[in-house]
Amino acid sequence: MLTGGDPNSPAAMLPLILLWLAWCGLHSLLITITVRRWIEKKGGLWIGCYRLGYVLIALATLAPLLWYTRSLPQQSLGVSSLWLLSGQCVLFIYAAVMFIGGLRAYDLSAFLGIRQWQDFRAGRKGSPAPFRQSGILRYIRHPWYSGGIALLWSLPNLTDVSLVVRAILTGYLICGTLLEERKLKADLGEAYLAYIRRVPMLFPWKPRH
């Protein structure tokens, strides 16, 4: 809801900030190596439900938070210009390339936790995800995190509230990238360290030779 009144005061914005930080903190905690290893020790149903449960919890807690954010009075920031719109279009196209490239490189079923659940139901022992370096992963190590950041800042209607939320979510995606890096280093060792030396993390700035 956009208003033409005064922007929200810092005190009025504090509950929103705390709620988004709590959401980001919870979901960052659930993908740490410590939690993952605890789940692996539990085995069985815990492994089968872990990733799918993570996705469902994320969606179930995100929906009311988005509703609450949307319900707040918001002050529009700045004036739209051709340069701003052009920049947002470029970011949106970049985000689309990152997401489509990631869909071709990743196993979406495993990402959502569906494959792990199916393996548990069938009594199969799940195999580790293959270490892929093809497609878009030849140019960037984390296309979905990169695309997510670009998408946040490509969206129109920047307000005082959405600016705060976008800043928090940008930090969350960067933290998520670093946590994922830590996990991959622990799982893959030297092979991933060599990959790091060749391929950028969040922005494909190195030319592919």
DSSP for 1-56?
-EESSPPPPHHHHHHHHHHHHHHHHHHHHTTSHHHHHHHHHH-THHHHHHHHHHHH
Tell me if 53 is assigned to some domain. Answer: yes
Give the pLDDT of residue 80. 72
Residue 7 in any domain: the answer is: no
Domain annotation covers residue 2: no
Task: Write down the pLDDT at residue 8.
Answer: 58
pTM here?
0.87
For residue 141, the model assigns a pLDDT of 96
Residue 209 CB-half CA count within 13 A: 3
Look at the chain and report how many structural domains it folds into: 1
* 163 assigned to some structural domain: yes
CB 160 within 8 A of CB 74: yes
Q: Half-sphere exposure of 49 toward its Cβ, with a 13 Å CA cutoff?
A: 7
Q: Would you say residue 205 lies in a domain?
A: no
Token couple for 76: 């529009």
pLDDT of residue 190: 93
Would 164 be classed as within a structural domain? Answer: yes
pLDDT at 79: 65
**Position 207 in a domain:** no
Q: Which residues, 6+ apart, have CB-to-CB distance to 33 below 8 Å?
A: 182, 183, 186
| Terminal C-alpha separation, the chain | 49
pLDDT, residue 5, reads 44
Task: In whole angstroms, give the CA distance from residue 72 to residue 64.
Answer: 13
Which pLDDT does position 207 carry in this prediction?
65
Q: Which domain holds residue 144?
A: 14-198
* 76 DSSP 8-state letter: B
Please give the Cα distance from 25 to 57 (Å, whole number): 13
In a domain, 206, yes or no: no
Q: Split the chain (209 residues) into runs of 10 and give each run's mean pLDDT.
A: 52 88 92 86 87 92 94 82 87 97 91 88 78 92 96 91 95 93 90 94 77
